[in-house]
A and B are shown apart, each in its own frame.
Chain A
Amino acid sequence: MTNDSLISIHDLKVYFRSNSEHARAVDGVSFEVRREETICLVGESGCGKTVSALSILGLIPTPPGEIAGGQILFADQNLLELNEADMQKIRGNHIAMVFQEPLTSLNPVFTIGDQIGEAISIHKKLEAEAVRENCIQLLTDVGISSPAQRLKDYPHQLSGGQRQRVMIAMALACDPDLIIADEPTTALDVTVQAQILQLFRSIQKIRSMSVLYITHDLGVVANIADRVYVMYAGIITEHGNTAQIFHDARHPYTQGLLASLPSRSKRGTRLHSIPGAVPNPAHKPGGCPFHPRCPYAIPTCSKEYPQMCDYGQGHLARCPVLFEGGG
């Protein structure tokens, strides 16, 4: 594993405006993805994971949404300052995305051969025959049997798992440096989910690319991640490698998440849950956004925005209370 950074996001802020409210969906998020590693972005629904991912590709609809600040550095350029034409050259070619719903992410009126072929021919100039061969190779790579026949199929003729494989094939079409996978297994059942995760792992190894994997499933995280960023209410609360996060969690939110996982050792006992609910992004509590639900909260938590505390070896957590208390 090399240490050079592929893409780094600095203090990204994405706000959504409605009539009177000002929803701060992503509120100063910084993270980086290095070459050839798998990063997981974990958090509850509505904590800004998907919005962060979409803003990397410049896909935030801009009249309601607004990129209020920050930088996204990829190959020495700030993606937020590129115009639409340059952004189109990045999308698919250098950064590709796999979406959550394989059932609706394919265009129902075209065959999958057409759709994968288009993904190839947008960025590469190839003969029709070469495109076809590429498509068949991609479908073989993502583990679809008899790919030549499948090319003529329409999306409704495939199962959910097969469709997600096709989506991955489309994302792989131009050999991108980074694949953003936005909960690609949420809509699939558990056995198919395991196959898709296996597929991601093998692809990442063979093609030596980076994966930014967005999920709320800690089981998935333990399975594939090299490093983990935990998000809560639009900010990064903890960052570390997989072992640090799972065995040595330093933020009360991460600890709460891990405690709420069912496991064999906790059989028969009541499952832990974090009290309260995720704050509305338009009305976030002041100071640390987690303080109303936090068991360790002290009065300063509601006033001061918490700083990242360094536990060494790249392990960071945004909770000064535990840092000063526990060391």
Chain B
Amino acid sequence: MMNIEEKTFNQDFQFQVPLAPKQTRLQAFWFLFKQNRLAIVGLFIFILFFCSALIGLFLTSGPEPIFDPAMIRLQEKLRPPLAKPNLDSLRPEEVPTLDFYLMGTDDLGRDVFARMLQGAWVSLTVGFVAVGIAVLIGIFMGGIAGYFGQYHIKIDHILLTFILVSGAGLVAVKLIHFGALLLLLGLGHILYSILTKKRSREKAVSSWSAFLSKNAVSVDTLIMRIVDIMLCFPSFFLILTVVALLPASIYNIMIVIGLTSWMGTTRFVRAEFLSLREQDFVAAVKALGVSNFRIIFRHMMPNAVAPVLVSATIGIATAILTEAGLSFLGFGVPPPHATWGNILSDGKRFIFDAPWLTFIPGIAILIVVLSFNLFGEGLRDTLNPRLRERH
């Protein structure tokens, strides 16, 4: 009897059942996410928008595009959606690919459907690239503020930065000799301090070097005050000013939107890092000899990415709106290229004669922005364990 019991016990031990259900994080995530109907709708529209923008890029670009957004047919102007073209007045290459105007034509007789397809790609890239820039800056700044925040910037660091910046500035305004001297001075000092670097505990000797090594401001304070300053600017007007000064191009707009919208991400990442930094697993990987850089980007970032992902999704919607607003005001992508904003802007003069020119891009913007917001909120509800209980 004893023997049998012992045997079964041993077998149990040998073939241990897994202690938790074999479910990956992705499966668990999807299970929760799909219960949120609106978020699923948002995700669906998001994928649809993504595909149509990609396909639209191929159909509307190249030397002989299938849908030509720039084809002007003055005799066919302001035709309503689904209207058949008057084949007698068109040359063969001017006939629309679908044999009818799916979304009508504008005041120059251009096919609105083709222009919408072209514009979708602009909106998509502006949204993703601008948010990509913002997220990269935000993660970097937030990571530094959260992980190295307690370190202090000393007065000699500030002086050094000042010397280097003014040196570069002088070189830029053609005072090359003086500027180069300052730059050399600064770089020489950096080289010297790297070469003589030691973990020394000696107290500073003279009062001057004591003043230089005085703690001026902590890294955390510095970065978060920069964030506060950036948040003080009304960003749309800042973007308007910058875009008015720079040559109009889609890349400038992406960069400017990205550079003015990283503050939220920085705050999220910093807040996550402040709590993650104290976690045992960070101390544990540190005790294994992992470098700080690797701890930040490989070990802590995946744990901090949830709120960033949510704010990025909603940020894409905001960036698309901002781009459309800029194009509507005439500061956006230069005219021959179609964007949803400038289709809207061109159409507003004919709003009573040809309402589709304003309604089609307007509704498209509405649907895309709404779907991104719904998807983002669904993500937030799923990724935030405290909100999970509600479903």
Binding site for B on A (CB under 8 A): 57, 59, 61, 63, 67, 80-84, 87-93, 96-97, 99-101, 104-110, 118-119, 122-123, 145-146, 153-154, 156-159, 162, 167, 170-171, 173
B280 pairs with A96, CB closer than 8 A: no
Contacts of B22 in A (CB 8 A): 157
Contacts of B20 in A (CB 8 A): 156-157
Check: B86 CB closer than 8 A to any chain A CB.
Answer: no
Contacts of B199 in A (CB 8 A): 80-83
Check: B174 CB closer than 8 A to any chain A CB.
Answer: no
B286 pairs with A157, CB closer than 8 A: no
Contacts of A59 in B (CB 8 A): 283, 286-287
**Can you list the 5 inter-chain pairs with the closest CB atoms, starting with the nearest?**
A91-B289, A92-B289, A92-B288, A97-B287, A157-B20
Contacts of A93 in B (CB 8 A): 289
List 11 additional A-B contacts (Cβ < 8 Å) besides A59-B286, A157-B19: A59-B287, A83-B199, A93-B289, A97-B284, A100-B280, A105-B283, A107-B303, A119-B288, A145-B16, A157-B22, A158-B19
Bound form: Cα–Cα A91–B24 in Å? 32
- Select B280's contact among A80, A99, A156, beta carbons within 8 Å: A99
A157 pairs with B18, CB closer than 8 A: yes
Check: B73 CB closer than 8 A to any chain A CB.
Answer: no
Given contacts A83-B198, A159-B19, A104 and B288 within 8 Å (CB-CB): no
Bound form: Cα–Cα A145–B24 in Å? 21
A148 to chain B, nearest CB (A): 14
Q: Which of B22, B281, B303 has the most CB of A within 10 A?
A: B281
- Select A88's contact among B16, B289, B303, beta carbons within 8 Å: B289
Which B-chain residue is minimally distant from A145 (CB atoms)?
B16
Contacts of A67 in B (CB 8 A): 201
B213 to chain A, nearest CB (A): 15
Which A-chain residue is minimally distant from B13 (CB atoms)?
A145
Check: B151 CB closer than 8 A to any chain A CB.
Answer: yes
Bound form: Cα–Cα A119–B290 in Å? 8
Check: B84 CB closer than 8 A to any chain A CB.
Answer: no
Given contacts A83-B198, A88-B291, A123-B289, A106 and B19 within 8 Å (CB-CB): no
B281 pairs with A63, CB closer than 8 A: no
Contacts of B285 in A (CB 8 A): 107, 118
Given contacts A80-B199, A107-B303, A145-B16, A170 and B288 within 8 Å (CB-CB): yes
Which A-chain residue is minimally distant from B20 (CB atoms)?
A157
Check: B390 CB closer than 8 A to any chain A CB.
Answer: no
- Select A109's contact among B151, B152, B303, beta carbons within 8 Å: B303
Bound form: Cα–Cα A82–B289 in Å? 14
B window 301-325: CB within 8 A of A: 302-303
Contacts of A101 in B (CB 8 A): 280
Q: How many A-B pairs fall under 8 Å by CB?
A: 90
Contacts of B302 in A (CB 8 A): 107, 109-110
Which B-chain residue is minimally distant from A80 (CB atoms)?
B199
Chain A interface SS verdict (over half): loop
What range describes how many residues of B lie at the interface? Answer: 20 to 34
Check: B279 CB closer than 8 A to any chain A CB.
Answer: yes
Bound form: Cα–Cα A109–B25 in Å? 9
User: Can you list 15 pairs linking A and B with CB atoms under 8 Å apart?
Assistant: A57-B287, A81-B199, A82-B199, A83-B198, A88-B289, A88-B290, A91-B288, A96-B288, A99-B287, A100-B280, A105-B280, A105-B283, A107-B281, A145-B13, A145-B14
Bound form: Cα–Cα A96–B283 in Å? 12
B47 to chain A, nearest CB (A): 25
A90 pairs with B281, CB closer than 8 A: no
A25 to chain B, nearest CB (A): 16
B287 pairs with A104, CB closer than 8 A: no
B281 pairs with A106, CB closer than 8 A: yes
Bound form: Cα–Cα A23–B150 in Å? 19
Which A-chain residue is minimally distant from B291 (CB atoms)?
A88
Q: Which of A59, A96, A105 has the most CB of B within 10 A?
A: A105
Q: Which of B18, B284, B288, B291 has the most CB of A within 10 A?
A: B288
> Interface code B270-283, partner A: CB below 8 Å = 1, 0 otherwise?
00000000011101
A122 pairs with B284, CB closer than 8 A: no
Contacts of B151 in A (CB 8 A): 63
Contacts of B291 in A (CB 8 A): 88
Bound form: Cα–Cα A81–B201 in Å? 9
Contacts of A171 in B (CB 8 A): 288
B299 pairs with A107, CB closer than 8 A: yes
A104 pairs with B289, CB closer than 8 A: no
A260 to chain B, nearest CB (A): 29
Contacts of B281 in A (CB 8 A): 104-108
Bound form: Cα–Cα A292–B286 in Å? 39
Check: B197 CB closer than 8 A to any chain A CB.
Answer: yes
Which B-chain residue is minimally distant from A88 (CB atoms)?
B289
B window 19-38: CB within 8 A of A: 19-20, 22, 24-25
Q: Which of B18, B280, B290 has the most CB of A within 10 A?
A: B280
Contacts of B19 in A (CB 8 A): 157-159, 162
- Select A63's contact among B13, B150, B201, beta carbons within 8 Å: B150
Bound form: Cα–Cα A67–B201 in Å? 9
B288 pairs with A153, CB closer than 8 A: no
B window 338-361: CB within 8 A of A: none
B198 pairs with A146, CB closer than 8 A: no
Contacts of B303 in A (CB 8 A): 107-109
Which A-chain residue is minimally distant from B24 (CB atoms)?
A154
B133 to chain A, nearest CB (A): 25
Bound form: Cα–Cα A290–B303 in Å? 44
Contacts of B280 in A (CB 8 A): 99-101, 104-105
Bound form: Cα–Cα A188–B7 in Å? 27
Which B-chain residue is minimally distant from A67 (CB atoms)?
B201
Bound form: Cα–Cα A83–B156 in Å? 21
Contacts of A63 in B (CB 8 A): 150-152
Contacts of A88 in B (CB 8 A): 289-291
Bound form: Cα–Cα A100–B285 in Å? 14
A96 pairs with B150, CB closer than 8 A: no
Contacts of A96 in B (CB 8 A): 287-288
Bound form: Cα–Cα A100–B287 in Å? 13
Bound form: Cα–Cα A67–B200 in Å? 11
B199 to chain A, nearest CB (A): 6
